[in-house]
Amino acid sequence: MVRLRTARLTARARLTLLQTALVLAAGAALTGLTYLLMRRNTFFTRLDRSGTGPSGTPPPMPTAVDLQGFADRVQTATLSALLPQAVLALIVVTALAAVLGWLVAGRVLRPIRVISSTARRLSAENLAERVPVTAPADELSALAGTVNGMLDRIQRGVFERDRILDSQRLFTANAAHELRTPLTTARTAIDVTLDGNPSRAELLAMAGDVRGAVEHMQRVLDGLLLLARSQAGLTARETVDLAAVADAALNAAGTRAAAAGVAVRRELRPAPVTGEPVLLERMIGNLVDNAVRYNRAGGHLVVDTGTAGGRAVLRISNTGRQIPPDEAETLLEPFVHGEGTRVRTDGLGLGLSIVRAVTLAHRGRIAVAARTGGGLDITVDFPQNPVTKDARSQDHRFASGNSPSVK
């Protein structure tokens, strides 16, 4: 049994058929109404008796029956001539309406075809093209603007996805490298020591090397866990004064700063925020530790807290080595210590990544500037209103960048 498949008409064809059907219906109604009015109309005739018959006498006066029959014949002949002519005119008008409807439909649907063709050309690798928005501002131009806005959001989403994936791949590779180094150190110490008959002193030295490698791995894992925790959002929200937290961090780092010959100046004014105390303490502790660790002998460290424009502000300025201005953003990445590469130091390279993650979790902003004479100027600010949602994806950095890693 052959199944009949319904032909799929295009929007242009359906619009043309609709317009043609409307014209046909209107013409048929007009023709029918004209025909009915003609049938109901009374036909009047005028009797002309000016002529004469064959004998020279006037023609006889027709009777009423004769006049009525004559009027009926005139009406029938008129209606018979009207109907085919009206049908012919209706066919011509309908055909003309179909042609004009096809052209008008194509004109009206042209922007939609442009949108469709543009969408077909787009792909994940090519999102730069946009639909032209034509004048005047009607529904189709609004549709084109909506499509362009959607493409802008998709392009930003794809860019952000690629950035995150690249960052995750780099982070995974660097984390694996950081963990492999102490493992290699421990295994080498064990293999070298156990190759023969080690003495007690050699065994103790091996144990010390293994202990140091284990402690290094523990610090890396602790940093990774804290980084993951801060990126997962806030679990506790309390009122925290950044001035008090900064004062405690400076007191804890005071001995190391004095040993390194770093002069510390405090300008601490109240700066209350709502957030998770543990994360905020770790963030400020990392910044202070970073400023002391990478300072220079005889240098200085300035910590300033306060409020401005409804935001709590923390500013840390320190002297140190000369840092190129374009390195600022790379220093925010995990395991990056400076010069855009992974440099082996006594730090892990996770400190400033944790600082950025904690800042974003609290809907804050972080700005880093390389000082002219060396060192960094780091500013972090937070909204003083309570944090109501996880803002991990809202990177509001007003001048992206950061300093060398902390721990």
pLDDT at 129: 77
Alpha-carbon separation of residue 20 from 85, 105, 192 (angstroms): 20, 11, 94
| pTM to 2 decimal places | 0.51
Q: For the CA atoms of the chain, what is the radius of gyration?
A: 45
pLDDT bucket at 203, cuts 50 / 70 / 90: confident
The rounded distance, in Å, linking the Cα atoms of 322 and 403 is 11
Task: Please compute the mean of the pLDDT values over residues 99-119 and round it to a whole number.
Answer: 80
Q: 172-188, pLDDT tens digit by residue?
A: 766 676 677 788 888 88
pLDDT at 21: 86
Alpha carbon 194 to its chain centroid, in Å, reads 58
pLDDT at 42: 58
Please spell the DSSP secondary structure of 80-103, one letter per residue.
HHHHHHHHHHHHHHHHHHHHHHHH
More confident residue, 397 or 315: 315
More confident residue, 124 or 317: 317
pLDDT bucket at 293, cuts 50 / 70 / 90: confident
Q: 365-387, pLDDT tens digit by residue?
A: 988 888 888 888 899 999 986 44
The rounded distance, in Å, linking the Cα atoms of 100 and 107 is 11
Residue 97 has pLDDT above 80, yes or no: yes
Residue 17 has pLDDT above 80, yes or no: yes
Which helix (H) or strand (E) element contains residue 380? strand 376-383
